Amino acid sequence: MLGLNKKDTGLFIFVICVTALAPFIMNPFPADSAMAQFNAGYPDLMQRFVIFGIFAIGFNILFGLTGYLSFGHAAFLGAGSYAAVWMFKLLSYNIVPAIILSVIVAGLFSVIIGFISLRRSGIYFSILTLAFAQMSFAMAYSVLTPLTNGETGLQVYNDDPQWLKGNGPDATHFFGLEMRSTFDLDLGAWSFSFNVGYYFCAVLMLVAFYLSMRIFRSPFGLMLRAIKTNQTRLNYTGLNSRPYTLAAFVISGMYAGLAGGLMASMDPLAGAERMQWTASGEVVLMTILGGAGTLLGPLLGAGFIKYFENIFSKINESVLHGWFGFLPDGIENGLIWVIEHFVGSGWHLTLGLLFMLIVIFLPGGLMEGATRIRDRFSGDKTKKDTEGKYAPAGE
Amino acid sequence: MDAILLQILNGLDKGSAYALIALGLTLIFGTLGVVNFAHGALFMIGAFCAVTLQKILTISSVSIDPEKKDFLGNPMEVKTPYVESIFGEATGQLIINWSVPLAILFAIPVMLAVGYIMERGLIKHFYKRPHADQILVTFGLAIVIQEIVKHYYGANPIPTPAPDALRGSFDFGVLLGFDPNAVIYPLWRLVYFAFSALVIGAVFAFLQFTTFGMVVRAGMADRETVGLLGINIDRRFTLTFGIAAAVAGLAGVMYTPINSPNYHMGMDFLVLSFVVVVVGGMGSLPGAVLAGFLLGILESFAAMNEVKSFFEAIYLPSIDQIIIYLVAIIVLLTRPRGLMGRRGVMEE
């Protein structure tokens, strides 16, 4: 189907089903029960799942296939957000021109940065992209204030022109369909919300996922893998690898721009902190956590990180006391003292630790973990030997 | 002329910090072949050594002085630092006053230990892994260190003043025959520059004139052969890592009076230090030092009003924010191995 082989078609249909039914899957607990805080089925979080999914899928096309580790992808996300908000300010709240422009702007931006950064490889490339991203961040804060509104962040004001607005709605919309409108379905104790913005992002995410599948299976994708495996040998065969890496860089930059545009479409704001290098680090983590070089990995990683970020940030001392109340006081207080460091505002600490643990013990990410477990149970020893430690897992 | 001299001085103190951090980065990269994204965190740990020592020295015993009253008429609580009760009031106050320079003595063993633990506990396992993994794991470590410091010291900058004796400014121009008051400069920044010159000199002398340094240099050139000669090169490299950590830590200790330390100061310096290393030439120690000072001075020149307005006239406003990155890009495009990098080393 659609130029995919049988296995990929199955995977694609699986992803479609999961995203379509996400409002149900994410809300397994009744709304009033004690477990309701583990529900993730509210619009804001689900939108973040798919938006960061797009970002990570794009990053994976560069890092997973070519092995070029960019530390500056947040710059494209930020550029996309700014472009989208400018479209809201100048034209109207319709998100179509905003998203188109954000992809184009991020694409152009990544052509410039990629053209220079890709002259070097390895760590030089990482440092160069990092420097570019920090430069964009510094510029967004200071020099480009007329474009970015500096520290305040860019937003839509009442006196903005909005030439095409007419009588259109006052919130971001897709030809009249407002992004924030949500249909709530109550089934007994359960409550499910179906949000227009989520489904809009989800459709784009599916398109992005499909494209990335096609890229993975194409001769172009094969060439990118060859670059990762042994670039020197590729050069010796008389091929110039730079156009291929540049194409991969620009594609992933455009994915980041799309994610930035969608972020602004859900909530018409854009700030420089989206470009900071810790934001770039986050998408690297998502991709690695899920499994770089695999199709499903980045989506899985993005969902995992955003879900736990949300859950961990919500937990505070009183919640912990509620959980461990059955323990003797001494043990309870000790345990809570330890856990406290990792939850609430300590989420970043958990993130850093997770980062280290994954890189140390599971460089192939969750997908590799799944493969290892599967191999252990099926007792398939021969496969394990042929698979190198760094071979992309789950294929 | 005096304006130019002032800008050079301005650049020197920032340049010193860049040079010291970049020196450590290059030392680690040259010996162990590891790209250490946690080096900024080491700089920050150094700065917080100064903060910690200051806190330790000002631990006080509280007594109630019946003779003095506070504004509500209650007897006033008097805090006497233990240092003062042990060494007498005058000496005690002097020690507290000089806590930042004293922190150097405190920071050296701490930083050596931190470096040793870091290398043996984590970095050691990453020699054979791809550079991307090294970058990622040290990046994770940097986040962890930063968050721990944030948890215990809070998110706000903590003021750590320089000793009173070094707090004023200094008429530097007179030394060079300018009019008095033409070039006046804060004394501590001159101290910082002198201190970092001393540290840089010490590191180079150590590598150049001791047997240990000779072995390390040999190991940088050809690790395998040195190992085959029956020398335990790994142990020396571990110590080199400790020295690099100590250099970054000392840079941090002495930087605290210039900018009050906060938990993300390391990250702010790290990116620029990497740029410095790249411009100087990956793996070249003199290159790192030279590039550090050059870029520091360049940055301060770009902040001059005359230069700024010139660049604004050709549509490049706020050149001081981006000058370092621009220079790095130009250097990388025209001379990929950096200013003093050897031909063929990391030129891909």
CATH code of the domain in which B251 resides = 1.10.3470
**Distance between A328 CA and the closest CA of chain B, angstroms:** 27
Q: What's the confidence (pLDDT) of residue B344?
A: 57
A205 in a domain, yes or no? yes
Q: What's the confidence (pLDDT) of residue A221?
A: 94
Q: What's the confidence (pLDDT) of residue A251?
A: 96
**CA gap B186, B166 in Å, rounded:** 9
Q: What's the confidence (pLDDT) of residue B331?
A: 84
Instruction: Retrieve residue B159's tokens.
Output: 């003021």
Q: How many domains does chain B have?
A: 1
The reply to whether residue B132 touches residue A143, judged by beta carbons under 8 angstroms, is: no
Compute the CA torsion angle A289, A290, A293, A295 (nearest 10 deg). Answer: -170
B347 in a domain, yes or no? no
Does residue A393 register a pLDDT over 70? Answer: no
Instruction: Tell me the chain A residues in contact with residue B142 when contact means C-beta distances shorter than 8 Å.
Output: 352
Note the Cα A81 to chain centre separation in Å. 14
Domain that holds residue A117: 6-276
Domain that holds residue B130: 2-334
The most confident of A108-112, A292-296, A373-377, B57-61, by mean pLDDT: A108-112
Instruction: Tell me the chain B residues in contact with residue A236 when contact means C-beta distances shorter than 8 Å.
Output: none
Interface test with B, best of A116, A126, A232 (most B CBs within 10 A): A126
A303 in a domain, yes or no? no
A105 in a domain, yes or no? yes
Instruction: Tell me the chain B residues in contact with residue A288 when contact means C-beta distances shorter than 8 Å.
Output: 136
Per DSSP, the three-state class of B115 is: helix
Per DSSP, the three-state class of B184 is: strand
Q: What's the confidence (pLDDT) of residue A1?
A: 65
pTM score, whole prediction: 0.86
Q: What's the confidence (pLDDT) of residue A104?
A: 96
Instruction: Tell me the chain B residues in contact with residue A137 when contact means C-beta distances shorter than 8 Å.
Output: none
CA-closest candidate to residue B59, choices B79, B77, B89, B76: B79
B343 in a domain, yes or no? no
CB atoms within 10 A of CB B182: 17
**CA gap A266, B1 in Å, rounded:** 56
CB atoms within 10 A of CB A236: 9
B241 in a domain, yes or no? yes
Q: Is the dihedral of CA B330, B336, B341, B346 positive or negative?
A: positive
Q: Residue B278: closest CA among chain A residues belongs to which residue? A: A124
The reply to whether residue B136 touches residue A359, judged by beta carbons under 8 angstroms, is: yes
The reply to whether residue A124 touches residue B278, judged by beta carbons under 8 angstroms, is: yes
Per this entry, what is the length of chain A?
A: 395
Q: Residue B347: closest CA among chain A residues belongs to which residue? A: A120
Instruction: Tell me the chain A residues in contact with residue B318 when contact means C-beta distances shorter than 8 Å.
Output: 139, 142-143
**What average pLDDT does the structure give for chain A?**
86
A101 in a domain, yes or no? yes
**CA gap B67, B76 in Å, rounded:** 8
Radius of gyration in angstroms for the set of CA atoms belonging to chain A, rounded to a whole number: 22
**Distance between B270 CA and the closest CA of chain A, angstroms:** 10
A356 in a domain, yes or no? no
**CA gap A200, B266 in Å, rounded:** 40
The reply to whether residue B322 touches residue A352, judged by beta carbons under 8 angstroms, is: no
CA B200 vs CA A217, B24, B82, B250, B285: distances in Å: 53, 10, 36, 11, 10
Q: What's the confidence (pLDDT) of residue A395?
A: 37
A43-66 and A219-229 helices, crossing angle to 10°: 70
Q: Number of A:B CB contacts under 8 A?
A: 116
**Distance between A118 CA and the closest CA of chain B, angstroms:** 11
Does residue A92 register a pLDDT over 80? Answer: yes
Residues in B whose CB is inside 8 Å of some CB of A read 35, 122, 125, 129-133, 135-137, 139-144, 146-148, 151, 267, 271, 274-275, 277-278, 282, 317-318, 321-322, 325, 328-329, 332-333, 336, 346, 348
Interface test with A, best of B35, B36, B322 (most A CBs within 10 A): B322
The reply to whether residue B140 touches residue A120, judged by beta carbons under 8 angstroms, is: no
The reply to whether residue A116 touches residue B329, judged by beta carbons under 8 angstroms, is: yes
B340 in a domain, yes or no? no
A323 in a domain, yes or no? no
Instruction: Tell me the chain A residues in contact with residue B274 when contact means C-beta distances shorter than 8 Å.
Output: 127, 130-131
B105 in a domain, yes or no? yes
pLDDT (mean) for A28-49: 82
A266 in a domain, yes or no? yes
**Type and span of the H or E element at B327:** helix B319-334
Q: How many domains does chain A have?
A: 1
**CA gap B45, B59 in Å, rounded:** 21
B22 in a domain, yes or no? yes
The reply to whether residue B135 touches residue A355, judged by beta carbons under 8 angstroms, is: no
Instruction: Retrieve residue B242's tokens.
Output: 């400790």
Instruction: Retrieve residue A220's tokens.
Output: 């172009």
pLDDT band at A315 (very low <50, low <70, confident <90, very high): confident
Instruction: Tell me the chain A residues in contact with residue B348 when contact means C-beta distances shorter than 8 Å.
Output: 120-122, 124
The most confident of A173-182, A200-209, A301-310, A354-363, by mean pLDDT: A200-209
Per DSSP, the three-state class of B214 is: helix
B246 in a domain, yes or no? yes
Instruction: Tell me the chain A residues in contact with residue B125 when contact means C-beta distances shorter than 8 Å.
Output: 360
A299 in a domain, yes or no? no
pLDDT band at A200 (very low <50, low <70, confident <90, very high): very high
B122 in a domain, yes or no? yes
Instruction: Using 70 as the pLDDT threshold, list the residues of chain B that sit under it.
Output: 1, 314-318, 343-348
Q: What's the confidence (pLDDT) of residue B265?
A: 85
